[in-house]
Structure 1
Amino acid sequence: MAYWFWVFIFYSLVGCFLERVYARRTTGDPHPVRRCLLFLPLCPVYGLGAMAVLALPASMREGLWLPVAGAAAATAVEFLYHWACEAMLGVKFWDYSHVRGNLQGRVCILFSLAWGALASMALLLIHPTLEAIIARIPPLLTFLALLVFTADAVCTLRVLSVTHSVAALRGKA
C-alpha cells in the first residue's frame, strides 16, 4: 500500500510542476489559477493517471501498446476525475470545450496524446528509479506523509465544498 501512496504523491507532484510550467508558457501568468485539488503542490489527476497506467496488464505497458493504452487509461481517469469534482464539489479545474476533439469539455484528443507521451516517458525513464527509491522509504516517513496528505485533503475538500471555487485554493474566493 505504501508503494501506491508514494507513486500517487510523486506523479501528483510532477504533475503540479508540469501544470505550472504549461500555464506560465501559455498564459504568461506567474500565478495562474490552480488546477490542482490540494493546498499541497500536488495535482492528483496525474497521480491517479499514473496509477491507472501502472495497473494495466504488463503486455499493455510495453512496446507500441504503452502510449496507446497509457493515453486511454489516463484519459479515462481525467474524465472521471473532472466529472467527480464537478458532481461532488461543484468545481471545474479545466475546460476543453474550446479545443477541437473534446468530450464534454472534460477531455480532448490533444491532451490524450500528451497523456500517452507522458505515460511512455514515465514508465520507461522515471519509474524504474522511482521504484528503487520507494523501496527505501521508512514506514514512519510514509505514515507522517500520509497524515499530512490526509489533513490537507480534508481541509481542501471542505473549502471546495463550501466555496465551489477553484480560486479559493489560492485564497481568492
Structure 2
Amino acid sequence: MEEEIHLKEKKELSNWQKMIIYFFIYALLGWILETVYCLITVGTFHKRGFLYGPICPIYGFGAILLLLSLKKVKGNYFTKFLIGMIVFSLFEFIVSYILEMVFNQRWWDYSNEFLNIEGRVSLLFSIAWGMIGVIFVEKIHPFFEKKLTKMMNRIPKKILTIVLSIFVIGIGVDTIFSIIRYIGI
C-alpha cells in the first residue's frame, strides 16, 4: 500500500535540477549555433567554445540569466527584446573581459562591427541577442520546458539526480582540463 502511494506521487524537479538541465540543453544548442554560424560565415568547420566537449557554457549561463531576468515580464515583446538585448550584451561584455583577463586571449572580437564597445559587443549582435531573447522566451524555452516535464516525469528522481551529478562532474573536469590547456600548465 505504501509503495502504491509512493509510485503515484508527482515527481517534481527541484528548481536547481531544472536549471542544471536547462543549462546543458542551452549550452549544447549554443555550441551548435556557434558551429553553424562559423560554418556559414567562414565556410569550414571550427570547434567552437572553450571546453573540449560540445558545449558553450556562455549560452547555458546566458539562458539561465535571461530566464531569471524575464520571469516576471508578461506579453510585451518590445520590453522582452530590450531586456534580452541589454542582459545578453552586458553578459557578453563581462564574460569577454573576464576571459581576456584570465587567459590573455580574446574569444570574439567585434572591432570591425559598427557601433562596438571595445570589440566586446556590437550593435548588430546586441540586436540579434534581443531578437534571440524574445524567440527564446516565447518559443524555444516553452517547447523544451514542456518536453522536459513530460520526459522527466518518466525518470525516477534518484536516477535523474545521479545523471545530473555525472553531467556536473563531467563539465567540472572538462573545465579543469580546458583551463590547464589554455594556461599551459
Scaled to the shorter chain, the TM-score interval is 0.7 to 0.9
Q: Which moved more, 1:106-115 or 1:56-65?
A: 56-65
Tell me the TM-score normalised to structure 2 length: 0.77
Q: Which moved more, 1:39-48 or 1:51-60?
A: 51-60
Residues 56-94 of structure 1 show CA distances to partners (whole Å, capped at 9, x for unaligned) of 154435312111101111111111211222222333211
Please, which runs of 5 or more residues in structure 2 have no aligned partner? Answer: 1-15
Residues 108-158 of structure 1 show CA distances to partners (whole Å, capped at 9, x for unaligned) of 111111111111111111211211233343442353244234334433444
How far residue 47 of structure 1 moved from its aligned partner, in angstroms, is 1.4
Tell me the TM-score normalised to structure 1 length: 0.82
Structure 1 segment 137-156 matched on structure 2, within 5 A: 137=152, 138=155, 139=157, 140-156=159-175
Structure 1 segment 1-12 matched on structure 2, within 5 A: 1-12=16-27
Other-structure match for 1:90: 104
- Amino acid across the alignment from 2:32: F
Q: Which of 26, 34, 40 is 2:41 aligned to?
A: 26
Structure 1 segment 8-87 matched on structure 2, within 5 A: 8-29=23-44, 31-34=45-48, 36-60=49-73, 62-63=75-76, 64-87=78-101
Other-structure match for 2:117: 103
Distance 2:70 2:135 in 1: 18
Identity rate, percent: 28
Q: Which of 126, 145, 152 is 1:131 aligned to?
A: 145
Distance 1:89 1:157 in 2: 13
Distance 1:20 1:142 in 2: 30
* Equivalenced residues, count: 163
RMSD: 2.2
How far residue 55 of structure 1 moved from its aligned partner, in angstroms, is 0.8
Moved over 4 A (4+): none
The answer to whether the Cα contact below 8 Å between 2:89 and 2:129 also exists between their aligned partners in 1 is yes
Higher relative contact order (CA 8 A, sep 6+): 1
Distance 1:105 1:11 in 2: 25
Please, which runs of 5 or more residues in structure 1 have no aligned partner? Answer: 166-173
Residues 8-52 of structure 1 show CA distances to partners (whole Å, capped at 9, x for unaligned) of 1111111111111111111111x2252x12222111111111111
The answer to whether the Cα contact below 8 Å between 1:53 and 1:61 also exists between their aligned partners in 2 is no
Other-structure match for 2:6: none
